[in-house]
Structure 1
């Protein structure tokens, strides 16, 4: 039995210098489809050819090479976080909220690999 119930989506978050150029590259190289560019949040999402799996492109001036963070969808981030914290899971700061879009929290596994949980706030 798991402490937190994740849904059937996963976003693989990547740090990039130019989200629009990267989205075009993934479209051309792999036939993926850009779902949206949220310029105000510095974020873009691309649908892969695998159902429920998207790439999230976070724009950074100097992205960390090899930076890749799996983001697991949850229906209620606050309660999921509380359960994980009570089990001793370490989080990296407070929950981030982009109103009307998403709520996210970064956490670490036993080997200090970064993971995220995310709650969709779009109502979709």
Structure 2
């Protein structure tokens, strides 16, 4: 049995210079539709053609090519984080919260690969 229970969503997050331009590229090249642009948070989300799988675009002045972070949806991030920390899983700093939007926490697998948990705070699941 797994230590924590994830929901049935995954967001694959990329660092990009221009979220709006990248969203247009993903639409024209792969047919992905923009779900929303959260300009105040520097974040955009796109729906892929796979149910439960979205692409996240985080805007950075100097994005790192090849930097891809799978983001797993979870109902209770705080409880999951506590269980993972008790199992000696390393986290990257404190949990980030964008009020009314999302709560996220980045952690690492044994080889140093970054993974993230995200709890939806919009009330829409």
TM-score range, shorter chain: over 0.9
**TM-score normalised over the length of structure 2:** 0.99
Q: Any runs of at least 4 consecutive aligned residues in structure 1 with deviations exceeding 3 A, and if so which?
A: none
Please report how far the alpha carbon of residue 15 of structure 1 lies from its aligned counterpart in structure 2 after TM superposition. 0.1
User: Matches of 1:83 and 1:118 in 2, distance apart?
Assistant: 15
Q: Which residue of 2 aligns with 1:9?
A: 9
Q: Which residue of 1 aligns with 2:95?
A: 95
Secondary structure in 2 matching 1:14: strand
Secondary structure in 1 matching 2:34: strand
Secondary structure in 1 matching 2:9: strand
Secondary structure in 2 matching 1:106: strand
Q: Which residue of 2 aligns with 1:116?
A: 116
User: Matches of 2:7 and 2:23 in 1, distance apart?
Assistant: 25
User: Matches of 2:66 and 2:111 in 1, distance apart?
Assistant: 17
Taking only aligned residues, the RMSD between alpha carbons, in angstroms, comes to 0.3
Secondary structure in 1 matching 2:10: strand
Please report how far the alpha carbon of residue 40 of structure 1 lies from its aligned counterpart in structure 2 after TM superposition. 0.1
What CA deviation, in whole Å up to 9, does each residue of 1:72-91 have, x standing for no partner? 00000000000000000000
In structure 1, the gaps of 5 or more residues are: none
Alignment of 1:19-58 (within 5 A): 19-58=19-58
What CA deviation, in whole Å up to 9, does each residue of 1:54-79 have, x standing for no partner? 00000000001101000000000000
- Determine which structure has the larger strand proportion and give its number: 1
User: Matches of 1:24 and 1:80 in 2, distance apart?
Assistant: 35
User: Matches of 1:21 and 1:82 in 2, distance apart?
Assistant: 38
